[in-house]
Amino acid sequence: MLVLRLLNVVAPAYFLCISLVTFVLQIFVFIPSMFRDPSTTPLLSPALLHGALFLFLSANALGNYVLVIQSSPEDLGKDLNLDKGAEVADWLDGSTSPGSVLPGTHFCRLCARVTQRHDHHCFFTGNCIGSRNMRNFIMFCLYTSLACLDSLVAGMAYISSTLSMSFADPLAFLTLLPHSISQFFSGALLSSEMFVILMLYLWLGIGLACAGFCCHQMLLILRGQTRYQVRKGMVVRARPWRENLQEVFGKKWLLGLLIPVLNVESNYRRQKEK
C-alpha cells in the first residue's frame, strides 16, 4: 500500500514533467526549425499550422486532465445517502452498497473516497475514474495520444533535418536508437540530439499506450460495463449501445470533443432529480 501511495504522488509529477519537456521542445526547437522553408507563405507555413495544431491538442489534453482531477469522487461521496450504521470497511471490497446508489459503486483505499460507477484508479491523475469524470478521462487519453503522435512526427522531421537522415525505410526508426547510442558515446552525437531521440521513443510508447487504453475503454462503454464490474464479474443489464454512449458523453458530445467541458449529465444526478 505504501508503494501505491508513493506511485500516486510520483506518477502525476512524472506526467507534468513530460508535458513540460514536450511543450518546450515543440515551441523552442521543432517549430522554429520549420520556419527555414522559404517556399511557403507566412499564413500557410508548416510552422504556424503545426503550432496551431499542437496548441489545440495540448490545450484539450491538459484541460481534460485538470477536469478529471477537479471532478473528484469525494464530492459525490458526500451526497450518498448512507445508512447511519454503515461502516467504511463495508465498502472496501465493493460488496456492500446502499440501495440509493448504482451497482459498481466502490470505496477506494488510495483515495478514501466513494466513486459512483467506479472504473479504476488512475495513478497519472491521482484520482479514481467514475461516472463524474469518465468522459474527461477518455478525452484526456485521446488528446494525449494525438499530442504524442504530433510530437513524434515533428521530432522525426527535426532529427531528419539535423542529422541528414531519411526515415523512408521503416527499419530506420527501429535502428535509430542503437545507432545513436553508439554515436553518442563515440562523441559524434550531441547530448541535445540524443535527448530528442530518446523523447521520440517515449512519445511513441505513451501515444500507443493511451490510444490502446482509449480504444479498450470505449469498447467497455459500448457494452455498458466498467473495469471494476468486469474484474468483479458483475452482471450488467443489456442496453442499446447508443444509450451507453449517451450516458457517458451526454447529448452535447460534440462540444466535449472540441473543448474541455465538465460532464454534468451523469446518471447519478439524473437519478437524484427523479
Q: Which residues are catalytic?
A: 122
To 5 degrees, how large is the angle CA 11–CA 143–CA 107? 45
Q: Which of 85, 76, 130, 137 is nearest to 272 (CA)?
A: 76
Grid cell 545507432 is found at: 179
Which DSSP symbol is given to 34? H
The Cα–Cα gap between 217 and 95 comes to: 23
Strand 127-129 to 120-122 pairing: antiparallel
DSSP codes of every residue in 42-75: STT-HHHHHHHHHHHHHHHHHHHHHHHHHS-HHH
CB-CB contact of 250 with 261 (8 Å)? no
Give Cα separations from 120 to 15, 24, 101, 105, 225 (angstroms).
18, 32, 18, 11, 12
